[in-house]
Structure 1
């Protein structure tokens, strides 16, 4: 039987479980009446993962007194193998639920243990489980193709983190979210318009299911059906991406 405090995210015998971001959003949406609170979000990188760097988010969630962690990350869809070509196909974006990070494979190799680059800590109001689920899913669906130069793991982690910080600005920052290696500094760069698109989708999608306490002057149209938003965003991005690639 699923644990009560984790809302069924993990079974009694599990240390962690991985979901696609879309499955996790569907799961979180059905359990908004007991939503977990996002306390902090860490930006981690693995210094050497088969000779490649890798970045991901570690989200700390308070589930009615029980602390869980979520690994939010993007990898290519070809069995996790890193690609040098520009297009790696549809990305494999996942959220892994952890009880303790030391029990996850990322923290079991001393030479490749993840290193924290920066942390966001929220005050009131804070994001909730549904919010982080939506941000990760929106970034995944509207920018679904893994691209080695523009939409890889660095970009995915940082655009999701930036959207959270923009939608819930009552947070303090520790460390840095900029990539230290100059030769790879271009990786992870996101456009403000990409962040704004994700935030706008969040306003439209989550205000009725999970009313946000963040004050905003924008009034999203109620004529837009939430389930159609992902399709609209995909069409918008397909059109805009051609212009971005030319600039």
Structure 2
């Protein structure tokens, strides 16, 4: 390397070193550091940037409901693996408190914590139907569920959180495979449908089709695990990008894994 080129590189190195050392304390030096980064770091081509896998536009709970500090909540601090999170229970409860649905259908009961909190915040005369797959039918489902979901089916008791609760009279438990269950007695009657059953792609597609048959015009559908399970994400992305006007207002509630749709 000739002397002139060496001197040039040394000068550049000294400039960068001085700017980096002073930048935490001097706004002008921070600006210079940014200019140097832009000069010596070429921009990443758009084709090399990772694609955002989440296609649903975001909304916010503050856009959907007026916050009520007097929500009735139970078990929100006991969120374990497989549960909706503490914040998500509050978001769902807030939406129920705001919408005041009198007819609710839940696909996927698990321990019934979300079921109970919906009962706590719905009108006194509300009725909740919650559907769960019994362990005896685990190997007889119409479509393949995710292998890691089997533990949620093989639980001690479905809906144990609301058993014996004073509001258990608002809740009707039914059992079966959500892909083959006869929903016809409830068609177009539900103010709210909450989908938190199998997270396998084909099941989310099927549960969504059934939810659209269950919900009345102006009713609401909620999905859990949009950001947690690939099958849920793919299914909802596909519905949103399908061009079907039913799904044009499908949104992801920021800070949660919940998606929401008001059916017009």
State the TM-score, normalized to the length of structure 2: 0.25
Greater Rg, structure 1 or structure 2?
2
**TM-score normalized by structure 1?**
0.26
Return the structure number with greater strand share. Answer: 1
More helix by share: 2
